[in-house]
Amino acid sequence: MTSVNLGMPAPPAPVLSPRRKTRQIQVGKVGVGSDHPVSVQSMTTTPTTDINATLQQIAELTAAGCDIVRVACPTGDDAAALPAIAQKSQIPVIADIHFQPKYVYAAIDAGCAAVRVNPGNIRKFDDQVKEISKAAKDAGASIRIGVNAGSLDKRLMEKYGKATPEALVESAVWEASLFEEHDFHDFKISVKHNDPVVMVRAYELLAERGDWPLHLGVTEAGPAFQGTIKSATAFGTLLSQGIGDTIRVSLSAPPVEEIKVGNQILESLNLKPRKLEIVSCPSCGRAQVDVYSLADKVTAGLEGMEVPLRVAVMGCVVNGPGEAREADLGVASGNGKGQIFVKGEVIKTVPEDLIVETLIEEANRIAEESGTPSGTPDVVVG
């Protein structure tokens, strides 16, 4: 086919909007704000009173790539467990406080890096802001003003009729003004809703109102599949506009899964260095190999690999060779065998039953040559 030059310039490579400029805060050793990478958070599901179990889960989250962890603190016994957890955790600990303001002070005294406060359900919260500000400032702790659609102040519910974006933002901005009135500025804000459309609009409105760092989250997002879709849709929309400084994917699933999804979202947007990436075709009538099984086995075999490696698993000769050549490592399958590519060059052809084994061997070889560990570290809590 003869190419036709229409005189049109080549389209520029797509880029995200620049990060929205925010003030900078610290959550322990992790900086949050536009001068720092977008961080990933999760929340433990163990009883906080079970210190060893909680620390074990925090260690697992840390190994999975979690930057900041939140723990529940609904009772005095939970508050009593916070000093040990905050001291022994490898990553900064945030105490999640509802209803009882006394636990805010207990968490700060315990050495937690930050405290999440819910202005919609903490008793007489506005009257406590001055003392909370002083305690946090003296301890070097930061605060998250965590507005949630499910616990919005009843006055705002009466005004707006439901948890609209405007209602969420009004609550957040009011509480922010109270902290700033008392010369406390080390806080970030979240305005969470379970509807990603409402949530996105709330954050867009909030981003226009001030330079606060923003914690993104779709609250009660649902089971793993549904929650992943909701979070990816909402976070992708906001982060592509430069809005968002730390994220928490809420899933009805083990917390480690939240970290995997969160990091994948950031890697997909080039907001975090890519690690292992599996490229596989969706399969069709041309496929001469079980692509689903092949991709699953390769993914499982390479889980935990830290080296930035793109592996292509392709099922036929149409797109297979091209995709495999573009990847660091790949296979183009057909006729009971697979051509193995490394950096665009065919290095060998192997029988179909050796494809998975060969790809894993080659990936580990590449990882070893790069000096990057190829496995997930053991997690042990002493």
> Known binding site for [4Fe-4S] cluster: residues?
281, 284, 316, 323
Q: Print the SS3 string covering 108-166.
A: HHCCCCEEEECCCCCCCHHHHHHHHHHHHHHHCCEEEEEEEHHHCCHHHHHHHCCCCHH
Compute the distance between CA of residue 12 and CA of residue 257 in angstroms, rounded to an integer.
35
- Measured CA to CA in angstroms, residue 87 lies from 84, 112, 324, 334 at distances of 5, 8, 47, 55
- Tell me which long-range contacts 99-103 makes (C-beta under 8 A, separation of at least 24): 99/74, 99/123, 101/125, 101/128, 101/132, 103/73, 103/76, 103/78, 103/79
Compute the distance between CA of residue 203 and CA of residue 33 in angstroms, rounded to an integer.
15
**Residues that constitute the known binding site:** 281, 284, 316, 323
Nearest to 221 by CA among 33, 37, 39, 42: 42
Three-state SS at 370: helix
